[in-house]
Structure 1
Amino acid sequence: MSFRRSAVALCAAVATGLNIAPAHAALAAEPITHSAPDAALSVNPIGSHESGIFDASAAEIVTYHPASQRVLTVNALSGSVDILDISDPTAPQLIGSVHAGEDTTINSVAVRADGLAVATVEPGVKTDPGSVIFFDAAGDGTVLDSLPVGSLPDMVTVTEDGAYAVVANEGEPAEDYSVDPEGSVSVITLPADVAAATEVRSAGFEAYNAPGALPEGIRIFGQFGDSTTVAQNLEPEYVTTSGGKAYVSLQENNAIAVVDIATATVEDIFPLGTVDLREVPMDISDKDDTVNIANWPINSFRMPDAIESYVVGGTTYIVTTNEGDARDWDAYSEEARVKDLGKEGLAPICEDAVDDMAEFQADENAGRLKITTADGLNADGTCYEEIYSYGGRGFSIFDQFGDLVFNSDDVFEQILAEAVPEYFNSNHSESTFEGRSDDKGPEPEGVALGEIGDRTYAFIGLERIGGVMVYDVTDPSAAEFVTYVNNRDFSVSMEDEADQAAALPAAGDLGPEGLTFIPAADSPNEKNLLVVGNEVSGTTTIFQIDEVLAQPGLSSLSSR
């Protein structure tokens, strides 16, 4: 789910490309690395830019323009896109910023090879229609023009051929549900040169308002006040494009929409299913004082945030990072804990759903796990016959038809239990043991794909404990763990620091959000690079990816 931005833009003026004194975050003295015994890659941090701002989303989505050797980083706090010169990737420099205007927030940015950049702009009232702005990534930050799009434009991407920009308009409701805009996908026809576009079309979901039109398994819930239709309930989050189609994650709805780009039409929506904890173990308690990756009579919705796609043998495959998310507004919240069921007006768990109710609902077992009250009730609504939680704590690969071909299962948590046993499932702003086990665990959120040699790799950012999981996804049905790297010093717990500004550089990277892969052919140092924007530490960090011989490390971890 998108970051809840409460900060307004600090400045409406456009910052030109004048040099600004660079700030470089200290890289962790000993970055955490953990690799498979036959790992073909090593991934190491080599440079970082520090905004100096803690826990205010000063570095989110990142993208790269090869010709100018510039990284564009979304700075939601200032409502801008920061422009970083990475001609020396060990010392990125802030050289300017692009602002969209007063009382606005930029949520996402994408760039075409010729430098035409597109950024999504959220107005001060998030339920109002949003816009996109255009600028030259190689220029001085001047905004060329803007176009209107749907409400809460969350993410933008540019198609492989550079002909279109596609925007996911999330359309979240107001806190009191007085307004609930329809979710939509904007398709923008881009000009041939570096100039503002003039044509935008909207792919909407009105066709699914008809009874029976929506495929089974799509979550439609939490509607009252102004919210009455399916189109209002569907909330586009993230977009990836392949072969003339846009695949759009509908995170809260646990689904992906398929949009034909040429006609700007939603062709299909397919559900993403659940992870069954009876088969896939998870650690679901922060009060059991141990790593306990175990099985439970619970299902968990995948609910991906970022998604990416690639083609193998003529078929498009979609990689989903299964973060999970809850609707939690002033007027409506689906969120509760297992131990809350049966109390304060909530229906209880059905007697035959678990063997020992008291033991199951104890804090050291399932009691503190955050769950949804919107799903799982029996036919008459008197008790919960099934319990549903949020997120798969890993990633999945689906084919273009919506068929699941791979799920990483419990491997992320197994790796973290070995790599950082003292800080297993830590939070991002505080160094804790199991601080997130009762919620969504490591919380995979961002993903980038990259080709190195004849292999395709997925780089997956973990929002809470931090770091990047690297998988070889060349064979979509048999993805394999390669390595894990985390540029974080857990000895620095930011919530416990009296002087957070002074402590922040030593903490390293906190809360990875957006990732982009830079192939060696486009790289300033002719090495494969990975750029990660970290919203909690406000750092934009560059990792170098090197091919290596097999090395000793983690014992083999399989997934189902």
Structure 2
Amino acid sequence: MQVTSRLLVSGIALCASMPAHAEMSFNRVATFATPLNMAAGEDTNRPSSAEIISATEDGMTLIYTDSPLGVVGMVDISDPKAPMPLGNIAMGGEPTTAVVIGDRAFAAVNTSESYAEPSGKLVTIDLAARAVVAECDLGGQPDSVARARDGSFLAIAIENERDEDLNDGQIPQMPAGYVVKLPVTKGAADCAALQRIEVTGLAGIAPEDPEPEFVDVNGAGEIAVTLQENNHIVIIGTDGAVAGHFSAGAVTLEGVDLTDERGAIRFTETQVDRKREPDGIKWLDNDHLVVANEGDYEGGSRGWTIFNRDGSVLYDSGLDFERAVAQIGHYPDKRSDAKGIEPESIEVATFDGTPMVFVASERGSVIGVYDVTDPAAPVLTQILPSGVSPEGMVAIPGRNLLASANEVDLIEDGGVRAHVMVYERQDAPAAYPMITSQGAAEFIGWGALSGLVADAERPGVLYAVNDSFFGFQPTIFTIDATQEPARIVSALPVTRGGMPAQKLDMEGITLDGKGGFWVASEGRSDQLVPHALYNVNAKGAIKKEVALPPELAAHEIRFGFEGITRVGDVLWMPVQREWKDDAAGEVKLVAYDTAENVWTAVRYPLDPKGEGWIGLSEITANGDWFYIVERDNQIGDAARVKRLYRVPAAQMVGAPLGGDLPLVEKELVRDFLPDLMALNGYAAEKIEGFAIDAAGEGWVVTDNDGVDDSSGETLFWSIGMVAE
């Protein structure tokens, strides 16, 4: 046996407004998990986070805030491809933002006892000693901190945030927020010269209760601040007085998904006069402001905007960014009724003479990269994969680097930890996305790809299904893998009686030899989703349903068929995990003869368990072999078993159910863990699709869980020619 390897499929991230080619691209070069900064002996099972991030002036060290641990974390990126932990520094409260001036970091720390009695402080950190050297009372709950370009002062947004459980979160809720301007002299914050700048009476919404969210300082020393809940933006002059202010306004969104309907991406609705409610803000230059319209109150227009300083709109992305995110499989459908992809933070920097805006989507877990050479017509050049929920970003143009802080820590759910991720601008094509629907004849939003089969005649053409996450939109996707990145070129709805089929959990697909497909539905009896096989015609209509025989159904548990393949009249399906009648460490490969209506099975030996469980995810028959994907349910550093095995076809002779079943022998073909790490992220849990195309090339796809408690990354790659 021989498998000829080929590098992971990569390509330029071509979205609706992206150019056909870019000479320079950002690619992720490293991932740093926040628990790495915990001290020896410390309980690494404590939740942690990476929220707002900044860098030292030489660009060699990253500093991020970690409010769950109450610390500021530091990371050495002298070698950006091999970040090293520098440890955590306790803040005596919840740090929100830390910025650097010279050899000092200044962290805003929330020490509030309650929403009604907010308090906070500014903590000064000696970076060389990694120690707190001074503190300054801020009088309220701080959120964002920004520094003057020349390091002469700090601007701090004192939010005094609302209690979302009080009066349904409605404002006003006193006390009001304000802005602090604090001089910095020779590395020391001059607390005695703290200037409190009031911003009450300005906004049209709850003017008596401004809630400053984010601040930035331009080259002239002017401060811009967003009042997110108030849907307002304020400019503060160099004298510390309000120099201008304006409403962030509202937009009408046409072609948006507003229904939190489990599993259907339908950009068909309209939302009138949606307030922008900006969060992150950056000066593009002294005359233009860039904001991310996340919305944390009643609004959120799902995009980002460039304002002239007088408040007039120079550019608004509308829904373009959200649609581009959906085309690479990152649309968070469960957030449709809320704020969609939630653009939250903004970064602005110039790389090799090109001004750029970076927009982080908190819920899509991606970063949009825009060329703003013409600020009236930004061009989306890339979408970068980030960790779960990027909260902050910092650009380091002098080193061609970008870093993101990703706040969600899923340790309590057995998932991946919070991460800092590092990207390098390279003379190379973009490595992500690896699969996209951009360029299809019709708009296609997608996710949760869970089964794969190749076209019988056309090399590089494959078909994939989505699983029960998209229970209201079961779909068969056609993929053209001859392009880089691979393209989803069409989407075929699976229907029953002319309507989208319900109660399906499609986890496998194979050709039926008659122009249609057989689909394996894993099923969940506790949710009344049957374990079953479905024959679907070329138009997507279910023409036949095959239920499990009593001898098999009597022993079922939640985890059913994962994958399906056909040899002549016989369909083969792996049962993902042990059922009630299986020996520990063994599962069934079940066969159904479609001509004789006869069920048989063999036994398959699983790898030994470590953490979690081991199970099967896919099966593909090819000549003298059956190829089987075996994996654990672990993610990130805990992942151990992500493997492709093969079983001789000669051993795939099933015995009647209920009796002694033959045990097949397996042979390792490929360890997928190096493939899963090729994008310098963390190992994904679910390899759920494998197919060998008409030319003999093997293709693999991961399931991104519909971007639910997931980074949303979908990896799609070739393992090269699978030869005998």
With the length of structure 1 as denominator, give the TM-score of the two structures: 0.67
Question: In the TM superposition, what is the alpha-carbon distance from 1:407 to its structure 2 partner?
Answer: 0.6
Residues 258 and 485 (structure 1), Cα distance of their counterparts in 2 relative to 1, 3 Å cut: same
Q: Hey, what does 1:49 align to over in structure 2? A: 32
In structure 2, C-alpha distance between the alignment counterparts of 1:54 and 1:477, rounded to whole Å: 47
Per mean C-alpha deviation after superposition, the further-off stretch among 264-273 and 528-537 is 264-273
Distance 1:393 1:47 in 2: 29
Preserved contact between residue 135 and residue 196 of structure 1 (Cα < 8 Å): no
Q: 1:203 to 1:31 in 2, by over 3 A?
A: farther
Provide closer, same or farther for how the CA distance between residues 417 and 550 of structure 1 changes in structure 2, counting only shifts above 3 A: closer
The residue number in structure 2 matching 1:292 is 266
1:540 is matched with which residue? 420
1:204 aligns with 2:189: no
CA deviation after TM superposition for structure 1 residue 283, in Å: 1.5
Preserved contact between residue 112 and residue 120 of structure 2 (Cα < 8 Å): no
Q: Distance in 2 between matches of 1:411 and 1:55?
A: 38
Q: Does 1:529 align with 2:401?
A: yes
Q: Which runs of 5+ in 2 are unaligned?
A: 1-7, 36-43, 410-417, 442-724
| 2:174 pairs with 1:195 | no
Q: CA deviation at 1:292?
A: 2.1
Shift of 1:147: 1.3
Report the Cα offset of residue 173 of structure 1. 3.8
- Does the aligned pair in 2 maintain the 1:44–1:485 contact within 8 Å? yes
Matched, 1:79 2:73: no
CA pair 41-439 structure 1, distance change in 2 beyond 3 A: farther
Mean Cα deviation higher: 402-411 or 64-73: 64-73
CA contact (8 A) 2:112 2:141 kept: no
Structure 1 residue 464: deviation in Å? 0.8
Return closer, same or farther for 1:510/1:440 CA change in 2, 3 Å cut-off. same
Larger radius of gyration: 2
Alignment-derived partner of residue 12 in structure 1: none
Q: Which amino acid is 1:88 matched to?
A: D
CA RMSD, 1 decimal: 2.8
Distance in 2 separating the partners of 1:419 and 1:306: 24
- Taking the aligned partners of 2:197 and 2:216, their CA distance within structure 1 comes to 15
Q: Work out the number of aligned pairs and report it.
A: 401
Q: Does structure 2 conserve the Cα–Cα contact (< 8 Å) formed by 1:530 and 1:543?
A: yes
Question: Contact conserved, 2:157 with 2:214, CA < 8 A, in 1?
Answer: yes
Give 1:79 deviation, angstroms.
0.9
Q: Which residue of 2 aligns with 1:97?
A: 88
2:241 counterpart residue number: 265
Match of 1:70 in 2: 61
Describe the SS at the equivalent of 2:327.
helix
The answer on whether the counterparts of 2:183 and 2:189 sit within 8 Å (CA) in structure 1 is: no
* Partner secondary structure for residue 118 of structure 1: strand
Alignment correspondent of 1:401: 310
Q: Distance in 1 between matches of 2:151 and 2:440?
A: 41
* Equivalent position to 2:141, from 152, 163, 176: 152
Equivalent residue, structure 2, for 1:503 = none
CA shift for structure 1 position 516: 0.3
Query: Secondary structure of the residue that 2:267 maps to in structure 1?
Result: coil
Structure 1 residue aligned with 2:347: 448
Supply the distance in 1 between the matched residues of 2:55 and 2:112 (Cα, whole angstroms).
28
Q: Distance in 2 between matches of 1:57 and 1:446?
A: 20
Instruction: State how far apart, in whole Å, the 2-side matches of 1:324 and 1:485 are.
Output: 22
Q: Are 1:316 and 2:284 counterparts?
A: no
- Which residue pairs with 2:362 in the alignment? 463
| Alpha-carbon distance change, 56 to 299 in structure 1, aligned in 2, over 3 angstroms | farther
Give, in angstroms, the shift of residue 289 of structure 1. Answer: 4.8
1:219 aligns with 2:205: yes
Name the CA distance, whole Å, in 2 between partners of 1:236 and 1:550. 37
The alpha-carbon deviation at position 68 of structure 1 amounts to 7.0
User: Match for 2:61: what amino acid?
Assistant: R
- The one-letter code matched in structure 1 to 2:13 is H
Distance in 2 of aligned mates of 1:481 and 1:396: 14
Aligned partner of 1:418 in structure 2 is 327
User: Partner of 2:188: helix, strand, or coil?
Assistant: coil
Is the 1:33–1:484 contact (alpha carbons within 8 Å) kept by the matching residues of 2? no
The CA deviation string for residues 505-557 of structure 1, in whole angstroms up to 9 with x for no partner, is xxxx10100000011x3x3xxxx111000000410110112255899985599
Q: Say if 1:480 and 1:68 are closer, same or farther in 2 by CA, change over 3 A.
A: closer
Match of 1:303 among 270, 277, 284: 277
Mapped pair 1:180 → 2:167: no
Structure with the higher fraction of residues in strand conformation: 2
**What is the CA-CA distance between 1:307 and the residue it aligns to?**
0.9
1:205 offset after TM fit, Å? 2.7
**Aligned equivalents of 2:162 and 2:316: distance in 1?**
32
Give the drift of 1:176: 4.6
Instruction: Give the Cα separation in 2 of the matches to 1:39 and 1:409.
Output: 24
Which residues in structure 2 correspond to 1:477-556 (within 5 Å)? 477-487=376-386, 509-519=387-397, 521=398, 523=399, 528-537=400-409, 538-547=418-427, 554-555=438-439
Which position in structure 2 is the counterpart of 1:494?
A: none
Cα deviations across residues 251-304 of structure 1 (Å, max 9, x unaligned)? 0111101112x3222233210111112xx4312123285432235252211111
Change (3 A) 1:547 1:473: farther
- Secondary structure of the 2:334 match is coil
Structure 1 residues 436 and 39, CA gap change in structure 2 (3 angstroms): farther
* Structure 1, unaligned runs of 5 or more: 1-28, 209-213, 221-229, 327-371, 373-389, 427-433, 488-508
Quote the offset at 1:128 in angstroms: 2.7
- TM-score in terms of structure 2 length: 0.52
CA distance in 1, matches of 2:110, 2:251: 33
Displacement after TM superposition at 1:183 (Å): 0.7
Given that residues 39 and 483 in structure 1 are in contact (C-alpha distance below 8 angstroms), is that contact kept between their aligned partners in structure 2? no
- Indicate how the Cα distance of structure 1 residues 246 and 66 shifts in structure 2: closer, same or farther if over 3 A, else same: closer
Residue 399 of structure 1: how far off its partner (Å) = 1.1
The alignment partner of 1:478 has SS state of coil
Query: 1:281 aligns to what SS in structure 2?
Result: strand
> Is the Cα contact below 8 Å between 1:183 and 1:234 reproduced in 2?
yes
One-letter amino acid of the structure 1 residue matched with residue 408 of structure 2: V
In structure 2, distance between residues paired with 1:544 and 1:59: 19
Q: Are 2:95 and 2:110, in contact at CA under 8 Å, matched by a contact in 1?
A: yes
Q: Deviations over 1:370-398 (max 9, x none)?
A: xx4xxxxxxxxxxxxxxxxx211111100
Letter in 1 for 2:289: I
Structure 1 residue 132 and structure 2 residue 122: aligned?
yes
Q: Give the deviation of 1:124 after TM superposition.
A: 3.9
State the secondary structure of the residue aligned to 2:125.
Answer: strand
In 1, the alpha carbon distance for the partners of 2:363 and 2:46 equals: 12
Q: Distance in 1 between matches of 2:66 and 2:324?
A: 31
Residue 204 to residue 419, structure 1, CA distance change in 2 (3 Å): same
Question: What CA deviation, in whole Å up to 9, does each residue of 1:158-200 have, x standing for no partner?
Answer: 0111111000000124555897222110000001x23343321
The 3-state SS of whatever aligns with 1:285 is coil
In structure 2, do the counterparts of structure 1 residues 91 and 548 end up closer, same or farther at CA, with 3 Å as the change threshold? Answer: closer
Secondary structure of the residue aligned to 2:376 is: helix
**Are 1:118 and 2:109 counterparts?**
no
Q: Do the aligned residues in 1 keep the contact of 2:306 with 2:375 (CA within 8 Å)?
A: yes
The DSSP-based 3-state class of the residue aligned with 2:323 is helix
